[in-house]
Structure 1
Amino acid sequence: MIGDIHQRVTRSSVNSLAFFSHSAYVASFELRDVSHALSDPNWVNAMHEELENFERNHVWDLVEPPPNCRPIVTKWVFKNKQGEDGMVVRNKARLATQSFCHKEGIDYEETFAPVARLKAIRILLAFAASKGFKLQQMDVKSAFLNGFIEEEVYVRQTPGFESARFLDRVYKLRKALYGLKQAPRAWYARLKSFLLKSGFVMGSVDKTLFLLSHGGDTLIVRIYVDDIIFGGSSHALVSSFAEQMSREFEMSLMGELQFFLGLQIKQGPERTFIHEAKYTRDILKKFEMGDSKPKTTPMSTNTALDADEDGEAVDQKEFRGMIGSLLYLTATRPDIQFAVCLCARYQASPRTSHRQAVKRIFRYLKFTPELGLWYSSGSSLSLRDVDHAGCRIDRKSTSGTCQLLGTSLVSWSSRKQASVSLSTTEVEYIAAASSCSQLLWMKATLSDFGLRFGKIPLLVDSTSAISVAKNPVLHSKIKHIDVRFHFLRDHYEKGDIDLVHVASENQLADIFTKPLEFGAFVRLRGELGVEGVDNALIKGEIESQWTGLIALLV
């Protein structure tokens, strides 16, 4: 026991020493005024590091200002980089332009640059898990400084680092700066050009996906601005790509993919687990819900939200902040999708009843902070369901859909339909058409991965909706349905999808359309692959519910 105490004290001393020695080289507070930063040697070092990047990348030239020149103002942006434990690991000083000074047609033309969607990233994670290879991650240092710009852009000299000899001169940009509206587009064009010259093929649907085939091996690269995810069936091919990128750009090779866009990723030999446990704890603390009483479901089955015009108004800014935080959490928590989307409808004029519903979601997160998605092997797609006239204000229905790659849930939605439907058949038919469009996008995207599909099963729990889709005659019961929804019938006839009936009690998408009682909610949540909660805790909750029920009966 004395030895255990000695080990704990020694470990604590080492950690404390590491913390204080680390703190000596970084500033723990973020600044907004460059004058204060110039008096702190840690931030001065960070600013010098940024300017050295400019010199290495030949970003600009100090020139005489041309006639009628209106140089863009620059400013310093200071940010502390934190690790997963919340400790400051680096001070980052970024020199950026002030975007309100930009003039369209003079300082920039086109600004659009493709960015990978979260569902596309989940598809890649599910595909990699099914093929048994691990994804790697790299980060391009000062990525935007690598993008060449076509426009003639001038900026003022750097605040705090002006040239004493040439105070009247300005910088002419050769490459993009952070804050320039065309900077993301310029960086993407540079990276795309490099990858295509290196033998990669760009995805036919998703322009942030690049693939390289070498013999029987394949290398997959996914781009999200300056973050790059890559992996393949050959270790040699992966290593060669990492070396090639390091020679062309200044890179940070971060090894195995573990933390990306707030997602925590654990890649095992057979399954991959993605979750947002750290983010969940952060928002519970942010909105002071860390000590709240846990709830077993995100919404009570008897909840019926409406405008509640007679209710007491609440702080709109706080309510929107809570909704925004929860919406980002739905990237790995489909179990709260319906509840969050329902509450989000009342952001314009939130009331006490709406805030109580949102707090109920936080209390559910308190009960299940570690839940996430498990991805394993799989090679097919399936899906969906709706509820009829679910909105108490305009009587529009809610469509709930989910798409799976094998057993891996990669896409889902809970969305109010655009028009009022006259029957449950019409509701189901419209929702099936929406699901069909998502399936076609997934089918085209997965074809870039080398996956080919015949008829994709579209699971619908309404036999009448299936009959309407298969019936080529527009009879009186459906002649009022918008013609754009009838493309479901066209793709059924083409053989792209196969409409399959599923019993209502087995419809996975029910979790996206209505509040459910605890048993059904946990069952559907588990079938969707949302796991990670302590089974003993669930068992204890079930036993407590049975105890309460028996007490009532007695």
Structure 2
Amino acid sequence: MIGDIHQRVTRSSVASLAFFFHSAYVASFEPQDVSHALSDPNWVNDMHEELENFERNHVWDLVEPPPNYRPIGTKWVFKNKQGKDGTVVRNKARLKEEIDCEENFAPVARWEAIRISLAFAASKGFKLQQMDVKSAFLNGFIEEEVYVRQPPGYESAKFLDQVYKLRKALYGLKQAPRAWYARLKSFLLKSGFVMGSVDKTLFLLSRGGDTLIFQIYVDDIIFGGSSHALVSSFAEQMIREFKMSLMGELQFFLGLQIKQDPEGTFVHQAKYTRDILKKFDMGDSKPMTTPMSTNTVLDADEDGEAVDQKEFRGMIGSLLYLTATRPDIQFAVYLCARYQASPRTSHRQAVKRIFSYLKFTPELGLWYSTVSFLSLRGFSDADHAGCRIDRKSTSGTCQLLGTSLVSWSSRKQASISLSTIEAEYIAAASCCSQL
């Protein structure tokens, strides 16, 4: 017993020392401007690291300003990156354009594609890993002629009038995501990968009977394979080609918490659930066992008391993101989302009921078993004239890869069905289209 106590105390001491050691090199605040950042050595170090990345990647050249070009302004953006427990794990100082462009196109994976990758990896027994790309957009080449001003706080004293001519993409530049994706895709295809015919963010490599899957979401990367040697070899290739760091086993991806066990993979959003309960002051609400009562019928309720539209939309938006792993609240959330234009007290009460249900079930999520097979199955259902406003029906569908649920929807149909069977056919057609 004394030995167990000593062991627990030792582990606690080590954890405390690790926390204090880490906090000594990470700032806990986000600066409002450059002068605020320059007052903290941790942020200064991160800004230096950002500019060193520019030099190492040959992002720009300092030149005389051309007569027919107006240089673009630059600004620093400071963000703290948090871990799954909410602690600050990294300071990120990014130099980007002063003007944010609206057209930042890059292929991104759909939620279904990510869930299929997780289910496939679980069924094959792959242990998924994660990579962190440092300054990913700085790896993309641009063809246009672009000039930017020198970064605030780091102007050259000898060449104040000169500007930087970009050789590679810069954060905020509309070409940046597209250029990064093109560079990464070119490297993967040359390395023997095959790009997915439908999902352009999924790449597969087959070598000597072994398989490696590679999924990207802009600059977030997950990968895994049937052979440890193949995975290690590929990781070394990526580190040589790009400035990357291996983050180890996949645990936190796009806000999803992922736990990989020998029996399967569990995907959930428990931390996010607790965060939104706290954000909307629902932490002390009475827990409910269902997200919505079976006899609840919502309509426009034009005679009801109006509520804060901004808060209501914020609650709906937070719940919509949670549906990435919670199909059990899909119907209730999308039903409440129909009344965002003019929310009433009855609508807010329905949303609060969903939050009360989340208080009762914060740990629910998706389970992908290692014994699951890989055949696709789909199920559909529909009500008839369920909407009291326009008498349209609602389709409900779900798709499974073996026993793993990878896609689902609850959506009001575009046209009015004249019979129950018509509503069912429309739902079945939608389900088959998704399959």
Task: Please indicate, yes or no, whether the TM-score normalized by the shorter chain is above 0.5.
Answer: yes
Classify 1:284/1:422 alpha carbon distance in 2 versus 1 (closer, same or farther; 3 Å): same
Q: 2:132 matched to 1:139?
A: yes
Per the TM alignment, residue 106 of structure 1 is displaced from its structure 2 partner at its CA by 14
- Given that 1:400 and 1:431 are in contact with CA atoms closer than 8 Å, whether structure 2 keeps it comes out as yes
CA distance in 2, matches of 1:141, 1:379: 36
Larger deviation, residues 140-149 vs 36-45: 36-45
Per the TM alignment, residue 169 of structure 1 is displaced from its structure 2 partner at its CA by 1.0
Per the TM alignment, residue 20 of structure 1 is displaced from its structure 2 partner at its CA by 3.5
Q: Give the 3-state SS of the residue equivalent to 1:379 in structure 2.
A: coil
CA distance in 1, matches of 2:63, 2:256: 44
Classify 1:195/1:16 alpha carbon distance in 2 versus 1 (closer, same or farther; 3 Å): closer
- Given that 1:107 and 1:153 are in contact with CA atoms closer than 8 Å, whether structure 2 keeps it comes out as no
Query: 1:247-272: CA deviations, max 9, x gaps?
Result: 10111111211111011111111211
Q: Give the 3-state SS of the residue equivalent to 2:223 in structure 1.
A: strand
TM-score, normalised via structure 2 length: 0.93
Larger deviation, residues 374-383 vs 358-367: 374-383
- Given that 1:208 and 1:224 are in contact with CA atoms closer than 8 Å, whether structure 2 keeps it comes out as yes
Classify 1:205/1:10 alpha carbon distance in 2 versus 1 (closer, same or farther; 3 Å): closer
Per the TM alignment, residue 126 of structure 1 is displaced from its structure 2 partner at its CA by 0.9
Q: 2:288 matched to 1:295?
A: yes
Per the TM alignment, residue 429 of structure 1 is displaced from its structure 2 partner at its CA by 1.1
Per the TM alignment, residue 127 of structure 1 is displaced from its structure 2 partner at its CA by 1.0
- Given that 1:81 and 1:92 are in contact with CA atoms closer than 8 Å, whether structure 2 keeps it comes out as yes
Query: 1:207-260: CA deviations, max 9, x gaps?
Result: 111111112111111111111111122221111111111110111111211111
CA distance in 2, matches of 1:164, 1:11: 51
Per the TM alignment, residue 112 of structure 1 is displaced from its structure 2 partner at its CA by 3.0
- Given that 1:34 and 1:159 are in contact with CA atoms closer than 8 Å, whether structure 2 keeps it comes out as yes
Larger deviation, residues 109-118 vs 149-158: 109-118
- Given that 1:383 and 1:402 are in contact with CA atoms closer than 8 Å, whether structure 2 keeps it comes out as no
Classify 1:2/1:376 alpha carbon distance in 2 versus 1 (closer, same or farther; 3 Å): closer
Classify 1:88/1:371 alpha carbon distance in 2 versus 1 (closer, same or farther; 3 Å): same
CA distance in 2, matches of 1:150, 1:190: 13
- Given that 1:77 and 1:93 are in contact with CA atoms closer than 8 Å, whether structure 2 keeps it comes out as yes
CA distance in 2, matches of 1:169, 1:322: 48
- Given that 2:101 and 2:172 are in contact with CA atoms closer than 8 Å, whether structure 1 keeps it comes out as no
The CA RMSD measured in Å over matched residues stands at 3.6
Per the TM alignment, residue 45 of structure 1 is displaced from its structure 2 partner at its CA by 1.0
Structure 2: runs of 5 or more not aligned: none
Residue in structure 2 matched with residue 159 of structure 1 by the alignment: 152
Per the TM alignment, residue 6 of structure 1 is displaced from its structure 2 partner at its CA by 6.4
Per the TM alignment, residue 19 of structure 1 is displaced from its structure 2 partner at its CA by 3.4
- Given that 1:262 and 1:279 are in contact with CA atoms closer than 8 Å, whether structure 2 keeps it comes out as yes
Classify 1:3/1:203 alpha carbon distance in 2 versus 1 (closer, same or farther; 3 Å): closer
Per the TM alignment, residue 170 of structure 1 is displaced from its structure 2 partner at its CA by 0.9
CA distance in 1, matches of 2:291, 2:116: 26
CA distance in 2, matches of 1:399, 1:41: 56
Query: 1:52-74: CA deviations, max 9, x gaps?
Result: 11011000011111113211111
Per the TM alignment, residue 89 of structure 1 is displaced from its structure 2 partner at its CA by 2.0
Residue in structure 1 matched with residue 37 of structure 2 by the alignment: 37
- Given that 1:316 and 1:347 are in contact with CA atoms closer than 8 Å, whether structure 2 keeps it comes out as yes
Per the TM alignment, residue 274 of structure 1 is displaced from its structure 2 partner at its CA by 0.6
CA distance in 1, matches of 2:199, 2:261: 27
- Given that 1:130 and 1:377 are in contact with CA atoms closer than 8 Å, whether structure 2 keeps it comes out as yes
Classify 1:287/1:302 alpha carbon distance in 2 versus 1 (closer, same or farther; 3 Å): same
Q: Give the 3-state SS of the residue equivalent to 2:93 in structure 1.
A: strand
- Given that 2:372 and 2:402 are in contact with CA atoms closer than 8 Å, whether structure 1 keeps it comes out as yes
- Given that 2:73 and 2:97 are in contact with CA atoms closer than 8 Å, whether structure 1 keeps it comes out as no
Per the TM alignment, residue 13 of structure 1 is displaced from its structure 2 partner at its CA by 5.0
Q: Give the 3-state SS of the residue equivalent to 2:130 in structure 1.
A: strand
Per the TM alignment, residue 38 of structure 1 is displaced from its structure 2 partner at its CA by 1.3
CA distance in 2, matches of 1:104, 1:83: 27
Classify 1:112/1:89 alpha carbon distance in 2 versus 1 (closer, same or farther; 3 Å): closer
Query: 1:11-69: CA deviations, max 9, x gaps?
Result: 55554444344333222111121111112212111111110110110000111111132
Classify 1:421/1:414 alpha carbon distance in 2 versus 1 (closer, same or farther; 3 Å): same
CA distance in 1, matches of 2:16, 2:369: 40
- Given that 1:136 and 1:230 are in contact with CA atoms closer than 8 Å, whether structure 2 keeps it comes out as yes
CA distance in 1, matches of 2:32, 2:42: 15
Query: 1:160-208: CA deviations, max 9, x gaps?
Result: 0001111111111100111111111000000000011111111111111
Q: What does residue range 502-521 of structure 1 map to in structure 2 within 5 Å?
A: none
Per the TM alignment, residue 117 of structure 1 is displaced from its structure 2 partner at its CA by 0.7
Q: Give the 3-state SS of the residue equivalent to 1:37 in structure 2.
A: helix
Classify 1:11/1:34 alpha carbon distance in 2 versus 1 (closer, same or farther; 3 Å): same
Per the TM alignment, residue 338 of structure 1 is displaced from its structure 2 partner at its CA by 0.4
Per the TM alignment, residue 111 of structure 1 is displaced from its structure 2 partner at its CA by 5.2
- Given that 1:109 and 1:182 are in contact with CA atoms closer than 8 Å, whether structure 2 keeps it comes out as no
Classify 1:160/1:339 alpha carbon distance in 2 versus 1 (closer, same or farther; 3 Å): same
Classify 1:381/1:234 alpha carbon distance in 2 versus 1 (closer, same or farther; 3 Å): closer
Larger deviation, residues 132-141 vs 181-190: 132-141
CA distance in 2, matches of 1:13, 1:233: 38
CA distance in 2, matches of 1:92, 1:83: 13
CA distance in 1, matches of 2:183, 2:193: 14
Q: Give the 3-state SS of the residue equivalent to 1:303 in structure 2.
A: coil
- Given that 1:106 and 1:151 are in contact with CA atoms closer than 8 Å, whether structure 2 keeps it comes out as no
- Given that 2:46 and 2:92 are in contact with CA atoms closer than 8 Å, whether structure 1 keeps it comes out as yes
CA distance in 2, matches of 1:382, 1:288: 43
CA distance in 1, matches of 2:399, 2:198: 18
Q: Give the 3-state SS of the residue equivalent to 1:381 in structure 2.
A: coil
- Given that 2:74 and 2:98 are in contact with CA atoms closer than 8 Å, whether structure 1 keeps it comes out as no
Classify 1:429/1:383 alpha carbon distance in 2 versus 1 (closer, same or farther; 3 Å): farther
CA distance in 2, matches of 1:253, 1:105: 32
- Given that 2:97 and 2:170 are in contact with CA atoms closer than 8 Å, whether structure 1 keeps it comes out as no
Residue in structure 2 matched with residue 17 of structure 1 by the alignment: 17
TM-score, normalised via structure 1 length: 0.74
Classify 1:17/1:205 alpha carbon distance in 2 versus 1 (closer, same or farther; 3 Å): closer
Per the TM alignment, residue 139 of structure 1 is displaced from its structure 2 partner at its CA by 1.7
Q: Give the 3-state SS of the residue equivalent to 2:355 in structure 1.
A: helix
CA distance in 2, matches of 1:405, 1:319: 35
CA distance in 2, matches of 1:434, 1:419: 13
Per the TM alignment, residue 331 of structure 1 is displaced from its structure 2 partner at its CA by 0.6
CA distance in 2, matches of 1:286, 1:62: 46
Residue in structure 1 matched with residue 248 of structure 2 by the alignment: 255
CA distance in 1, matches of 2:5, 2:100: 65
CA distance in 1, matches of 2:33, 2:73: 15
Q: Give the 3-state SS of the residue equivalent to 2:97 in structure 1.
A: coil
- Given that 1:298 and 1:364 are in contact with CA atoms closer than 8 Å, whether structure 2 keeps it comes out as yes
Q: Give the 3-state SS of the residue equivalent to 1:44 in structure 2.
A: helix
Aligned counterpart in structure 2 of residue 405 of structure 1, from 401, 405, 412: 401
Bigger fraction of residues in helix: 1
Per the TM alignment, residue 396 of structure 1 is displaced from its structure 2 partner at its CA by 0.8
CA distance in 1, matches of 2:100, 2:29: 34
Q: Give the 3-state SS of the residue equivalent to 1:176 in structure 2.
A: coil
Per the TM alignment, residue 436 of structure 1 is displaced from its structure 2 partner at its CA by 1.3
CA distance in 2, matches of 1:106, 1:363: 42
- Given that 1:378 and 1:406 are in contact with CA atoms closer than 8 Å, whether structure 2 keeps it comes out as no
Question: In terms of Rg, which structure is larger?
Answer: 1
